[in-house]
Amino acid sequence: MFTKEDLTRINHMGSEGNLYTSVYLSVNPVTNPKGEYFVNFRNLAKAEFDKLGSAEQKVIKEDIKKIEAYIKSGKTEFKKALAIISSTPLDIWEVYHLSVPLKNHVVIDKTPYLKPLASILEQYHNYVVALVDREHAKLFRIHLGEIAEYAEHFTPDIPGKHKKAGWYGLEENRFKRHIEAHIHFHLKDMVKHLEEIWKRGEVSHLMLGGSEESILLFNKMLPQPITAKIAGTFTADMHAGNDEILEKSMHIIKNTGKTIEERLVDELVTRTSKNGSAAIGLDDVLSQMQSGNIHHLIYIEGLSASGFKCSSCNFLTVQDMKTCPYCSTELEKIEHLIDFAIQKAIDQGAGISAIISSVKLKEAGSIGALLRY
Ligand SMILES: [Zn+2]
């Protein structure tokens, strides 16, 4: 399984001036029964290759050869998608077999292209918890139900509050400002730290814990893209054990996961009832898909259906037709219609959500989509 440590590692390896080949390939045997991914890679790689100067082409040739050989031979390990980051001159060769569908993409550039991997991590909902009080700021991360502390910022020299005030309280005000500046110091460090984490794409959600006063202050200091990702807050003592932080965080996580799924299904059902931009049921979804109109595909995990597919224009249908209504090619019967539909939605740039269980969605045909227009 691919982890955010892998992403960080890849992000930091290598040196400037060298070229990397980054490959993202749908290799799902269901949607690639004839090994179509090989040709897909060749075409995408060629388009990138042609953009290079002749000296660069010489270097990259080795990468491409190596990747082609791997794609040809690695079949038994293939899951739904394959990610390869390669740089022959730097002796870098990273391969990940992923069980989530991905869009085909090949990039040859001076840095590894990691955006698709970062988005996968986001789908797995990696959380960080910032625990803050007047003097400390601690950072935890939570991944698949486990917690680890991974940073601490501390402002050790906050002057005590007991110092005597000067004449007319003037001294006192100045002194207060002095304390405020100190209080901000460790929180500012924490903000910087979080910004770096966000840049690396390791984390999708943030939770804030600590004293109410410090949470409020810290919240104000965070840049908007990060505040938008706050999943919840809780009060806790700075010295609370990891178990307590985990328990309070998991409570928030469980509710977040649920509400995101519920919100999606609710929006789908509401849009449908108001005759808005939504498709409901497989038939409707597939016909909207044909016009590239899927914005977000929502389906019950494990849903399956058989149907028909046009090998020429990729038209999908559940109806027993002999020829494609769009290009008159003879249709072939396929068993795993849903897999093809998911891949097609991804190729169109749509979001996808597999819902574990939802009575509402089941009643609506187990599959639906929010539409672009
Ligand atoms: Zn067709």
pLDDT in tens, 230-242: 888 999 998 898 9
Q: In this structure, is residue 264 part of a structural domain?
A: no
Rounded to the nearest angstrom, the gap between the alpha carbon of residue 365 and the centroid of all alpha carbons in its chain is 27
Q: State the average pLDDT over residues 271-292.
A: 92
Per the confidence metrics, is the pTM higher than 0.85?
A: no
User: Do 286 and 317 lie in a common domain?
Assistant: yes
User: Do 104 and 178 lie in a common domain?
Assistant: no
The Å distance, Cα 47 to ligand 1 centre, comes to 25
Q: Is the per-residue pLDDT at 10 higher than 90?
A: no
**Residue 164 has what pLDDT?**
43
Query: Comparing C-alpha atoms, which of 261, 257, 263, 151 is closest to residue 204?
Result: 257
Query: Comparing C-alpha atoms, which of 373, 362, 353 is closest to residue 298?
Result: 353
What's the CA gap between 15 and 111, in Å, rounded? 9
Q: In this structure, is residue 311 part of a structural domain?
A: yes
The Å distance, Cα 338 to ligand 1 centre, comes to 18
Q: Is the per-residue pLDDT at 196 higher than 80?
A: yes
Q: State the average pLDDT over residues 275-285.
A: 92
The Å distance, Cα 367 to ligand 1 centre, comes to 23
How many domains, the chain?
A: 3
**Residue 62 has what pLDDT?**
94
Cβ atoms within 10 Å, residue 73:
9
Q: In this structure, is residue 230 part of a structural domain?
A: yes
Instruction: Lowest mean pLDDT of 129-143, 181-195, 264-278, name the range.
Output: 181-195
Structure tokens at 4: 């955010």
The Å distance, Cα 314 to ligand 1 centre, comes to 6
User: Do 249 and 332 lie in a common domain?
Assistant: no
The Å distance, Cα 307 to ligand 1 centre, comes to 14
Instruction: Lowest mean pLDDT of 153-162, 284-293, 341-350, name the range.
Output: 153-162
Which residues lie across from 21 on neighbouring strands?
A: 86, 108
The Å distance, Cα 46 to ligand 1 centre, comes to 26
Q: In this structure, is residue 267 part of a structural domain?
A: no
**Residue 298 has what pLDDT?**
95
The Å distance, Cα 287 to ligand 1 centre, comes to 13
The Å distance, Cα 332 to ligand 1 centre, comes to 11
The Å distance, Cα 342 to ligand 1 centre, comes to 18
More confident residue, 177 or 273: 273
Rounded to the nearest angstrom, the gap between the alpha carbon of residue 289 and the centroid of all alpha carbons in its chain is 23
Q: Is the per-residue pLDDT at 15 higher than 80?
A: no
User: Do 303 and 202 lie in a common domain?
Assistant: no
**CATH number of residue 288's parent domain:** 3.30.1330.30
More confident residue, 60 or 200: 60
Q: Which residue's entry shows tokens 């908007």?
A: 224
**CATH number of residue 180's parent domain:** 3.30.420.60
User: Do 248 and 140 lie in a common domain?
Assistant: yes
The Å distance, Cα 340 to ligand 1 centre, comes to 14
- Provide φ and ψ at 313, rounded to 5°: -115, 5
Q: In this structure, is residue 295 part of a structural domain?
A: yes
Last residue of a domain, one of 226, 258, 290: 258
More confident residue, 224 or 218: 218
The Å distance, Cα 329 to ligand 1 centre, comes to 5
The Å distance, Cα 2 to ligand 1 centre, comes to 36
Confidence of residue 168 (pLDDT cuts 50, 70, 90): very low
Each residue of 301-333: pLDDT tens digit?
889 999 999 999 999 999 999 999 999 999 999
**Residue 143 has what pLDDT?**
64
Q: Judge whether 339 and 327 are in contact, CB under 8 Å.
A: no
Last residue of a domain, one of 80, 104, 122: 122
What's the CA gap between 83 and 67, in Å, rounded? 11
Query: Comparing C-alpha atoms, which of 185, 177, 96, 175 is closest to residue 135?
Result: 185
**Residue 163 has what pLDDT?**
42
**Hey, what amino acid is at 324?**
C
User: Do 327 and 365 lie in a common domain?
Assistant: yes
Q: Is the per-residue pLDDT at 227 higher than 60?
A: yes
Mean pLDDT, the chain, rounded, equals: 85
Q: What percent of the chain has pLDDT over 70?
A: 87
**Residue 176 has what pLDDT?**
57
User: Do 219 and 329 lie in a common domain?
Assistant: no
Q: In this structure, is residue 22 part of a structural domain?
A: yes
User: Do 167 and 221 lie in a common domain?
Assistant: yes
User: Do 111 and 152 lie in a common domain?
Assistant: no
Q: In this structure, is residue 367 part of a structural domain?
A: yes
User: Do 367 and 332 lie in a common domain?
Assistant: yes
Q: Is the per-residue pLDDT at 150 higher than 80?
A: no
The Å distance, Cα 128 to ligand 1 centre, comes to 47
User: Do 303 and 233 lie in a common domain?
Assistant: no
The Å distance, Cα 48 to ligand 1 centre, comes to 28
Rounded to the nearest angstrom, the gap between the alpha carbon of residue 287 and the centroid of all alpha carbons in its chain is 28
Q: Is the per-residue pLDDT at 130 higher than 90?
A: yes
User: Do 250 and 300 lie in a common domain?
Assistant: no
The Å distance, Cα 325 to ligand 1 centre, comes to 7
The answer to whether the Cα torsion of 157, 162, 166, 169 is positive or negative is: positive
Structure tokens at 23: 């490959």
Each residue of 114-124: pLDDT tens digit?
888 887 776 65
Domain span including residue 112? 4-122
Last residue of a domain, one of 230, 258, 286: 258
Rg (the chain; Cα; Å): 26
Burial class from Cβ neighbours inside 10 Å (0-12, 13-18, 19+) for residue 11 reads: middle
Instruction: Lowest mean pLDDT of 42-46, 258-262, 313-317, 348-352, name the range.
Output: 258-262
Q: What percent of the chain has pLDDT over 90?
A: 46
Q: In this structure, is residue 265 part of a structural domain?
A: no
